[in-house]
Amino acid sequence: MTNSITQNALRSLLYEVVTEPKPGLVDPGSPGPHPDMDIYTFIDSSISLESYFATAVKIGQTFHSTDLTQMFQQLRQRGITAEKEMFTATHGANTHKGAIFALGIFVCAESYSMTNKTELFLTITKMCKGLVQHDLVQNNELQTAGEQEFVKYKIGGARAQAEQGYPIVREVALPFLKSSTGTVQTRLLDTLMKIATIVVDSNLIKRAGNYDVVKWLHQEATKYLDLGGYAAAAGKKQLQKLSKECLVHNYSLGGCADLLIVTIFVAFERGYI
């Protein structure tokens, strides 16, 4: 029987990818700026990660040392294998590399917190303490987008969010989703765009080849919410315009998608949706 935390992790991946219409992202209606993927790639990718999330739950349940960075190291070893399992399932498409990292941390931390009666986000900060220093400051091989952007723009990307305990989720996205109303589709689209008003998405910066795109996204996403979000005709129109612009410029909001995924996960765990 699959553990309920594992089930909620898989549900959050599927709820995110089926939500449409999402700018710069894959959904049932369009692969967006991702010619190497479609909705079926994401379903295959999600299913391939079930075993990884089950292991993340087990690591959280059975970890007894005081230094939680060691729990993250255990998770990371299994996460590296999960990346390979994902790439096998997707025939080489990078669907969930960032989600393997972020959602894996949330699943492991949730399992540990439930076992030890600790606070979820505080647990995450203890797991990820020193991550930017370890991965980026002390690292000389600038291979990935995140590593290159750290040097070029002094941003920590996904690692910085994790080390800070995901303030975008804790302080903004989760309270927003909790208080949102309407259909699940509307609530999730508006939460995605709420995230897009503040995130520094390293995936978007990689696609754009500059940092200025971040301000553009923040402004466009703010405009969408000011126009009433997906429940309003004007909001829908703004979203269509944003989708078209992402397609024309090959902009991906992969980081926003991953933050939505972990927000949905915590919302499932707390009964907000």
Ligand X SMILES: CC(C)(COP(=O)(O)OP(=O)(O)OC[C@H]1O[C@@H](n2cnc3c(N)ncnc32)[C@H](O[C@H]2O[C@H](COP(=O)(O)OP(=O)(O)OP(=O)(O)O)[C@@H](O)[C@H]2O)[C@@H]1O)[C@@H](O)C(=O)NCCC(=O)NCCS
Give the footprint of ligand X on this chain (CB under 6 A). 34, 75-76, 79-80, 83, 94, 96-102, 104, 144-147, 157-159, 161, 199-203, 252, 254-255, 258-259
Q: Which CB, 189 or 214, lies closer to ligand X?
A: 214
- 220 phi/psi in degrees, rounded to 5: -65, -40
Instruction: Give 80's contacts (C-beta < 8 A, 6+ positions apart).
Output: none
CB of 34 to ligand X, least distance (A): 5
The answer to whether the Cα torsion of 126, 218, 99, 148 is positive or negative is negative
Instruction: List Cβ neighbours of 239 (8 Å cut-off, separation of 6 or more).
Output: 21, 23, 189, 193, 224, 230
DSSP alpha helix (H) spans, 91-232: 97-116, 120-127, 131-132, 145-153, 157-163, 167, 174-179, 184-196, 202-208, 213-226
Q: Which H or E element spans position 18?
A: helix 4-18
Closest CB to ligand X among residues 111, 161: 161
What's the min distance (Å) between Cβ of 17 and ligand ADE? 5
Task: Tell the smallest beta-carbon distance from residue 255 to ligand X (Å).
Answer: 3
16 binds ligand ADE (CB under 6 A): yes
- Residue 34 interacts with ligand ADE (CB under 6 A): yes or no: yes
**From ligand ADE, ligand X, none, interface partner of 255 (C-beta below 5 to 8 A by class):** ligand X
Segment lying near ligand ADE (by CB under 6 A), choices 76-84, 130-138, 242-250, 254-262: 254-262
**Residues in 79-98 that interact with ligand ADE by CB under 6 A:** 96
The Cβ of residue 99 has, within 10 Å, a number of other Cβ atoms equal to 29
Termini Cα distance of the chain: 23
Q: Does 25 participate in binding ligand ADE (rule CB under 6 A)?
A: yes
Encoding tokens for residue 226?
């000011």
Query: Which tokens in the block code for residue 233?
Result: 């005709």
Nearer to ligand ADE, 56 or 204 (CB): 204
Of the residues 9, 17, 162, 193, which one makes contact with ligand ADE according to CB under 6 A: 17
Query: Among residues 8, 258, 268, 269, which is the contact residue for ligand ADE, using CB under 6 A?
Result: 258
Looking at beta carbons only, is 69 or 85 nearer to ligand ADE? Answer: 85
Residue 17 binds which entry of ligand X, ligand ADE, none, CB below 5-8 Å type-dependent: ligand ADE
* Structure tokens given for 269: 């765990």
Give the number of residues written for the chain. Answer: 273
The binding site for ligand ADE (CB under 6 A) comprises 16-17, 25-26, 34, 96, 99, 254, 257-258
